[in-house]
Structure 1
């Protein structure tokens, strides 16, 4: 009997294992055929409505505001959410998948078979997806529910931040150039979120937090101790002492105090710059990357600065031992035009080219080695400049248009360079100015190409609102207002980020006396160490796009008039002149570089 029991036990054990295996196989088969997002366990145990089969429908039901994971998708819904306040992050979708959400908490996302869109999560590789996303364009979507507390709806890819301009992908009417609506389906065709758009960062640094970071940098962000002493160090120490102890100015006819963090310190620092500053410009480097400026277009700032500094008899010295600063005169735009291989995923040859140039400088001179480059500076406006310079030129003072905290911008050391779309190299002040406030009947204006993830969202919410002129790229049509005329006639000019955080619209708004509304998380505004941007600009977090109109309407008329007047007064700091004049943009860029060098000086 004992022998028989010993024989039966292994048999029963094998049967049990076989039964368990069969059950597991059945579960996998059911999951494979019934749950397209491989989330059977979540669907079984979820307290929300499960995924509906067949047509790829995803019903959120009455979900809470806390995110819940459904397979490879995350839904953020409030208990009272509508189409306008749903935030949807889509990741790891297969090519033929689509998502349909029911009436009160959903959006259609119809994916076509056009060019691919890379979407990925950190744990999985990118999967190619078609780019055109069709979203309902009902009145309830365009006119945002002001009582909503949920974030906005969007589709965000995980992509590179160094894509070149691909032009306007938004279908538009041939006559007006405005957004084209498919009336038969009542859907707006929203431009593709390009695969090279930057994924939004999870941490957003507010403008008030930036102010705190700047103050902290003044106290702690010192450059390295020089390896040997120089007479110019004492000049900088004396300048710093004078600036810090400058008496408060009661009023100044040339400077409007509310525009500045400290108008007294700025005025003193500027005066000392005019009296003392000497810059040595390295002669090394071959054209066109070095010494050949681009004067027109959105990269014009680096070109105009290079041209005007090289022509300056006041600031430039040919004796490097007398220099307070050393200029590395390369054009980030010409670096990209000359060396970048189209459709290449690598930018290392651009980085290596700058390293080779720097190796020549270091081998030929001792000045870099004295401070590890802390008294050297560069001025670069291309989107890729932070990446190209972050390794070998990290200790330099970097004046960058792409002033992104998340890409290594350092308060107190780096300078946010004003991106300027210079329309005429012969007359950079052409069409300067705008209409007075009573003649500005348009609440807010934006027109431009659909770069990055943010601008399609802006159009999705506001392209049909009669008070907001929010469109794609505008074409010139005889008898209709053009881009410049709209800027001159609008109270607020919307400045959303594109592929990167900076936009020439910030300077354009000031040029045309329109209050800039900056929608670009983690963007450090130009000349930030000097100017009090909150006195003449509006900052709107990206997540608040659904509330954009309410935010603007909530600004009292008196406050708007103050900001408009401040825009007119700060305008002098953002103008290029064929010959530099006091307090213009050339002098302000140079002053910010000088200012940061002075406040980072460290005696031996």
Structure 2
């Protein structure tokens, strides 16, 4: 009996010590100490924590800054709503590849369930409760609509819109509070906001390609790389009995071969690929028939070539992905969307410009890729291709939701810059270092 009493007393004493320790050092889950099996069973039934959507305040801009450019005959200047949002025009041609601004705005106008876990961002009407501020200025569409060169008289409309939006910013308490660092501005076309872009360079910019922006203006720490909207239709029923054998062309390219800057490689590749029966390399302009031919060619090819154009990136990469054709990327400077989440090396082949210009080198390397490796890349492309779909209403993990997730990850950098700027007494010495 004395032995049993001492055991009970020891257990009580240990329990008192544990409770006392937990009060001074923090909470202690007694179940994990005395009932480890029960604890493990409970953990299996605990739902995973889901991060709440990003809270976005969207400015109510007159329609001339956004959807008014889609129908310039309409005099309506009232801000667009979910009920008055026009669909993106089906006959917009190449303009649609830089329509990211439209889909981001549409996702915020969507009046679906705000508690829906599939949404990465929701619109809030109280600016004081917002995490970020979205500027629905269609700067890419403005470039495409109001003249493509500096001598076109219509170009003045593009310039005036930029002047007016900057005037609006200067009158905004929330812009002034952060110098625009917590503001999201789409500039997807390389020439978007071309006149006054330096005055908004502190903002979180949504761009297609860093190659056309100065380093002091855009960088991966604060900006987001957005995919082009693909031009070809998505391959929705790609499930043949022999996918490797059914794609009879080794390497496919169809597009403009006369380009500037790094894109000069296209003309050189045209000479290198002469004589290969399983390589299709063709000069082509964008027309309805050309798009259909490109779609068919990509769907019947194992690899699709993506050489740099006027900029390191282009729509062709995303056409290849939605066609489930393994991309072959030739560029020394390309930056890719969602690269903190997606490893492109798992489903793409990369060549430097120097490697690509060695006669026979690329074709030899592609022919040596085993069937098993190609099938693994093909299956992965099918699995991730929905990340490159822009659509309304938005869907889980589609392109626009992926972009809002990327914006959320840029916020710590934006907040750091805001907090530092509020206490600095001199110009930012860190940014001026050489």
Q: TM-score, normalised by structure 2?
A: 0.67
- Preserved CA contact (<8 Å) 2:54 2:404: no
Please tell me whether residue 283 in structure 1 is matched to residue 30 in structure 2.
Answer: no
The Cα of 1:544 is off from its aligned counterpart by 2.1
Give secondary structure in 1 for the equivalent of 2:184.
Answer: strand
> Which of 103, 106, 120 is equivalent to 1:304?
103
Question: Is contact 1:463–1:471 with CA below 8 Å preserved after alignment?
Answer: no
Larger helix percent: 2
How far residue 286 of structure 1 moved from its aligned partner, in angstroms, is 4.1
Q: State the shift of 1:403 in Å.
A: 3.0
| Pairwise CA distance, 1:527 | 2.0
Q: Which has the larger radius of gyration?
A: 1
- Aligned partners of 2:212 and 2:311 also within 8 Å: no
1:523 corresponds in structure 2 to 334
Q: How far, CA to CA, are the matches of 2:286 and 2:333 in structure 1?
A: 31
Partner of residue 367 from structure 2, selected from 544, 553, 564: 553
TM-score by length of structure 1 reads 0.49
**Of residues 166, 169, 188 in structure 2, which corresponds to 1:358?**
166
Q: Deviations over 1:73-104 (max 9, x none)?
A: xxxxxxxxxxxxxxxxxxxxxxxxxxxxxxxx
User: Aligned Cα RMSD in Å?
Assistant: 3.2
Deviation at 1:587, TM superposition (A): 0.5
Partner residue, 1:576: 390
User: Deviation digits for residues 17-58 of structure 1, max 9, x if unmatched?
Assistant: xxxxxxxxxxxxxxxxxxxxxxxxxxxxxxxxxxxxxxxxxx
The change in CA–CA distance for 1:476 and 1:305 in structure 2 (over 3 A counts) is: closer
**Offset, 1:531:** 1.8
Deviations, residues 106-155 of structure 1 (Å, cap 9, x unaligned): xxxxxxxxxxxxxxxxxxxxxxxxxxxxxxxxxxxxxxxxxxxxxxxxxx
Q: Does 1:441 align with 2:255?
A: no
| Alpha-carbon spacing, 1:526–1:441, altered in 2? closer, same or farther (3 Å) | same
The aligned counterpart of 2:271 is: 460
TM-fit CA distance, 1:470 = 0.9
Shift of 1:391: 0.5
Structure 1 pair 319–560 and aligned structure 2 pair: CA distance change class (3 A): same
Report the CA distance shift for 1:385/1:434 in structure 2 as closer, same or farther (over 3 A). Answer: farther
Say yes or no: does 1:385 pair with 2:192: yes
Report what 2:348 is aligned to: 537
Determine if contact 2:255/2:286 at 8 Å carries over to the other structure. no
Moved more, 522-531 or 404-413: 404-413
Q: Which runs of 5+ in 1 are unaligned?
A: 1-266
Q: Output one character per residue of 1:569-594: Cα deviation in whole Å (capped at 9) or x when no partner.
A: 11121123332111111111111112
Cα shift at 1:407: 3.8
Structure 2: distance between partners of 1:497 and 1:300: 21
Residue in 2 that maps onto 1:367 = 174
Aligned length: 327
Q: How does 1:307-346 map to 2 (within 5 A)?
A: 307-312=106-111, 314=114, 315-340=122-147, 342=149, 344=151
Bigger Cα displacement from structure 2, 316-325 vs 379-388? 379-388
- The answer for the alignment partner of 2:221 in structure 1 is 412
2:299 alignment partner, one of 472, 482, 488: 488
Distance of 2:365 and 2:213 partners within structure 1: 26
- Between the aligned partners of 2:229 and 2:191, the Cα distance in structure 1 is 17
* 1:4 matched residue in structure 2: none
Q: Relative to 1, partners in 2 of residues 1:406 and 1:520: Cα closer, same or farther, differing over 3 Å?
A: farther
* CA separation of 1:467 and 1:417: change in aligned 2, threshold 3 A: same
- Asked if the contact 1:494–1:518 (Cα under 8 Å) also holds between the matched residues in 2, the reply is yes
Maintained 8 Å contact 2:231/2:319: no
